[in-house]
Amino acid sequence: MEFDKENFKKKYPNIADELENGNKKIKIGSEKIDEELNNSKKKNRGFQDYVPSVIDFIRRCNNIEEAEEIINYLEKRGEISEEYAKKIRKQMKKKGIRSFGSRKQDNYYFKDIPIK
């Protein structure tokens, strides 16, 4: 794409002025700004890249029947092995559903959890 100098000046007067005179109005890529952006991203990440495990799903269940459905589903999809599914079922039957941890309430992953 080609522009002659006069058409460019008419269409983009500010850019033309910056190119001709070196008058920069805004500093781009400031280290301080980049640092602040990186820090704010770190602070607000929360559970952004977190992938829940079968235990996380079980901790959201209200009873053993719900937990059993979760285990069956993940086992069927190949996300957990048959051996691991048996181990979880055994613990659940022997020690109860809360042996995996307290119940995670609704919207647990949307709460502000401090990042370490």
Domain edges within the chain? 5-44, 54-110
Tally Cβ neighbours within 10 Å of residue 109: 14
Query: 65 — alpha (psi -120 to 50), left (phi > 0) or beta?
Result: alpha
| pLDDT for 95 | 92
pLDDT, tens only, 40-93:
555 555 566 667 788 888 988 999 999 999 999 999 999 999 999 999 999 999
Task: Give me the mean pLDDT over the 18-47 stretch.
Answer: 58
DSSP class of residue 104? P
CA distance 112 to 73: 30
> How many C-alpha atoms does 79 have within 13 Å on its Cβ side?
12
Q: In this structure, what token pair is assigned to residue 75? A: 């086992």
